[in-house]
């Protein structure tokens, strides 16, 4: 067989291409999923779409499968007494089910070249939590379901965003205490 350099180049390019996609899908790709979260000290039982019974203990979150469109949830206390039977609509590819109707905050973190955090904070809305004013435009949430965020409660913000030519933002949903800790650490007031 003849030594064909074009065939060798094609094979090397194909191997590099496959390795690059493998690295992306195993290490870099963001997973899309739905969580049931319980930041309270109580234990809850739940059924989504009359499926199998799930249990969520104090301070835990559980990955669940929901379908696009209308979904139903039944929530029970630790004695399996029904607390409520409700429905929610899923339109996006990730979301959070607030089983205990606790306080969450959705915050936008801004990235970009020559970003002035202090002046940006002052131009955004303020929110009052426990009598203290917080700048930055965080949004309060305590309903059953939301999907208006990019990073879920179990994820951290990216340390680096690739496009730094313009100012961009990414939103993350926080439990109340986690938001207060993040705000204190990130803004160092």
Question: Is pLDDT above 60 for 1?
Answer: no
Q: What is the pLDDT of residue 57?
A: 94
Question: Is pLDDT above 80 for 161?
Answer: no
Is 23 in the same domain as 39?
A: no
Pairing of strands 132-135, 95-98: unpaired
Question: Is pLDDT above 80 for 42?
Answer: yes
- Percent of the chain topping pLDDT 70: 86
Is 88 in the same domain as 157?
A: no
Look at the chain and count its residues. 189
Is 144 in the same domain as 169?
A: yes
What is the dihedral angle through the alpha carbons of 171, 28, 168, 107, rounded to the nearest 10 degrees?
A: 10
Domain count of the fold of the chain: 3
Find the domain containing 81 and state its range.
34-98
Boundary (domain end) residue, out of 75, 98, 121 = 98
Q: How does the average pLDDT of the chain come out, rounded?
A: 86
Is 170 in the same domain as 110?
A: yes
Is 173 in the same domain as 143?
A: yes
């Amino acid at each position: 067989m003849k030594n064909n350099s074009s065939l060798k180049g094609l094979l090397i390019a194909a191997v590099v291409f496959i390795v690059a996609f493998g690295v992306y899908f195993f290490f870099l790709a963001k997973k899309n999923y739905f969580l049931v979260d319980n930041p309270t000290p109580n234990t809850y039982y739940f059924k989504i779409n009359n499926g199998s019974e799930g249990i969520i203990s104090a301070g835990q979150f559980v990955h669940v499968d929901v379908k696009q469109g209308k979904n139903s949830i039944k929530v029970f206390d630790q004695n399996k007494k029904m607390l409520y039977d409700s429905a929610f609509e899923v339109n996006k590819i990730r979301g959070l089910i607030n089983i205990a109707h606790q306080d969450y905050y959705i915050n936008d973190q801004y990235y970009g070249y020559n970003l002035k955090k202090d002046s940006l904070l002052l131009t955004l809305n303020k929110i009052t939590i426990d009598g203290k004013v917080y700048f930055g435009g965080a949004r309060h949430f305590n309903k059953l379901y939301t999907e208006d965020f990019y990073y879920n409660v179990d994820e951290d913000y990216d340390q680096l965003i690739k496009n730094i030519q313009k100012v961009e933002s990414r939103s993350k949903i926080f439990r109340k205490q986690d938001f207060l800790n993040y705000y204190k650490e990130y803004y160092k007031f």
